[in-house]
């Protein structure tokens, strides 16, 4: 074989080797992707796809009259739900605030109309429309710190919900509701979505672990007993002093009447 014939063959060999190396690298990368990414995506997509379909049916019959067929909202009836996320849906629907019974200054908590499974399906459908905040999978209360939760609650929540989490009045006929009947998931979803007058506490303001700590503190308030007797709403010394004053005044009046009658 001559030198001129060997040179093109060598060039072809080098080009072929380069192509084979590129194909081999792509194959390795594809193998890693197939081993890790598609499996988890398929598992999530298969279940959520069914939830989205079922949620769309529920939305069409129970929500579209106010929020529109595509959840784009209807003026003076209901806002757009595109981008609000699954957390907002779970909070509003599971607490019975939605569907709204009537137009008020603020939606009231009431027995939920939908089951937990139906609420999950509605949330999946709204999430599919434009993303948004959604609750972490599983138990949202995993490793909360009670002391940290107390500090964070007093700093971020007590000004509206009161130190006892019993709620309080706001302006224009609105109020911060009592947290007595709120579940772990509802509290977490409220912090994520900021319903009505509540600000949104994203992960930049409160980390997931800090949210869990607040939930743990709130739920601990419900379990505590009142060692002194009646808590009178646990709203501090003012109502307690008022009750003592009124009872004492009534006792003094009866005593005065009794003394006057005897004399």
Chain segment 154-210, per-residue pLDDT in tens: 999 999 999 889 898 888 888 999 999 999 999 999 999 999 899 999 999 999 999
SS3 74: strand
What is the spatial distance between Cα 196 and Cα 175, in angstroms, rounded to a whole number? 10
Tell me the two tokens of residue 40.
Answer: 């988890």
Contact (CB, 8 A) for 141 and 184: yes
Q: Which residue has the tokens 């979803």?
A: 189
Indicate if the pLDDT at residue 20 is higher than 70: no
CATH (residue range 25-133)? 1.10.760.10
Q: Where in the chain is the domain with CATH 1.10.760.10?
A: 25-133, 135-226
pLDDT value at residue 43: 36
247, two tokens: 């009872």
- Only one residue has tokens 């007797």, namely 229
Pairing of strands 168-169, 175-176: antiparallel
Torsion 33-34-40-45 (CA) sign: positive
Instruction: Provide CATH code, domain 135-226.
Output: 1.10.760.10
């Amino acid at each position: 074989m001559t030198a001129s014939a060997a040179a093109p063959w060598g060039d072809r060999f080098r080009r072929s080797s380069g192509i084979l190396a590129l194909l081999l690298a792509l194959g390795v990368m594809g193998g890693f992707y197939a081993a890790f990414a598609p499996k988890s995506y398929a598992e999530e997509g298969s279940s959520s796809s069914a939830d989205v379909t079922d949620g769309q049916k529920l939305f069409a019959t129970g929500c579209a009259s106010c929020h529109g067929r595509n959840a784009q909202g209807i003026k003076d009836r209901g806002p757009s739900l595109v981008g609000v996320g699954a957390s907002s849906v779970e909070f509003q629907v599971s607490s019975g605030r939605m569907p709204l019974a009537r137009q008020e200054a603020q939606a009231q908590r009431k027995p939920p109309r939908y089951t937990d499974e139906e609420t999950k399906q509605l949330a999946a459908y709204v999430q599919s429309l434009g993303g948004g905040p959604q609750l972490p999978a599983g138990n949202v209360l995993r490793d909360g710190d009670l002391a940290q939760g107390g500090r964070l609650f007093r700093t971020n929540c007590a000004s509206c919900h009161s130190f006892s989490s019993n709620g309080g009045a706001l302006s224009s006929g609105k109020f911060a509701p009592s947290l007595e009947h709120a579940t772990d998931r509802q509290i977490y979803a409220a912090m994520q979505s900021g319903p009505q007058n509540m600000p949104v506490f994203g992960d930049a303001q409160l980390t997931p672990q800090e949210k869990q700590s607040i939930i743990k503190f709130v739920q601990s308030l419900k379990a505590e007993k009142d060692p002194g007797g009646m808590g009178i709403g646990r709203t501090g010394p003012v109502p307690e002093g008022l009750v003592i004053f009124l009872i004492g005044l009534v006792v003094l009046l009866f005593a005065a009447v009794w003394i006057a009658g005897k004399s």
